[in-house]
């Protein structure tokens, strides 16, 4: 079975600074990879996804993520963080033929300092 690890429970960055959120997965082959964002009291919104092809994928709100097979990682990045980016971020993995279920990491809470 696949698993997802988000090593950082909480990250604080200053507005305008760059951001990198880490995600490591465990799966025997290349899985489908996702990043979701959740603002307080709301549902999750898909930021970006990787299925195959170019290992650097662009998403909404200026986010990008890079798939590194050798490191089993799919880290999320943003060059300049805005205060509105404060939220919780979830990495997810989809793999196998299991009714389309995804496995989610425990999330990373992002705080943005003014």
Which residues sit at the interface with other proteins, rule CB under 8 A?
32, 34, 36, 41-46, 49, 51, 90, 92, 94-95, 99-102, 104-107
Kindly state the tokens that stand for 55. Answer: 């290992």
Q: CB nearer to other proteins: give 31 or 85.
A: 31
Q: CB nearer to other proteins: give 43 or 114.
A: 43
- Residue 32 parent element (H or E): strand 32-38
Least spacing, CB of residue 18 vs other proteins, in Å: 25
Q: CB nearer to other proteins: give 41 or 114.
A: 41
Least spacing, CB of residue 44 vs other proteins, in Å: 4
d(CA 72, CA 24): 6
Smallest Cα–Cα separation from 93: which of 50, 63, 47, 55? 50
Smallest Cα–Cα separation from 16: which of 92, 75, 80, 77? 80
């Amino acid at each position: 079975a696949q698993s997802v690890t988000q090593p950082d429970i909480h990250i604080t960055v200053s507005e305008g600074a760059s951001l990198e959120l880490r995600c490591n997965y465990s799966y025997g082959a290349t899985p489908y990879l996702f990043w979701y964002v959740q603002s307080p009291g709301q549902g999750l919104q898909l930021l970006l996804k990787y299925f195959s092809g170019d290992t650097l994928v662009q998403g909404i709100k200026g986010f990008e993520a890079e798939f590194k097979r050798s490191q089993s990682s799919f880290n999320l990045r943003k060059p300049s963080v805005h205060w509105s980016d404060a939220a919780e971020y979830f990495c997810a993995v989809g793999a196998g033929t299991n009714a389309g279920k995804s496995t989610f990491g425990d999330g990373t809470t992002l705080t943005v300092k003014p």
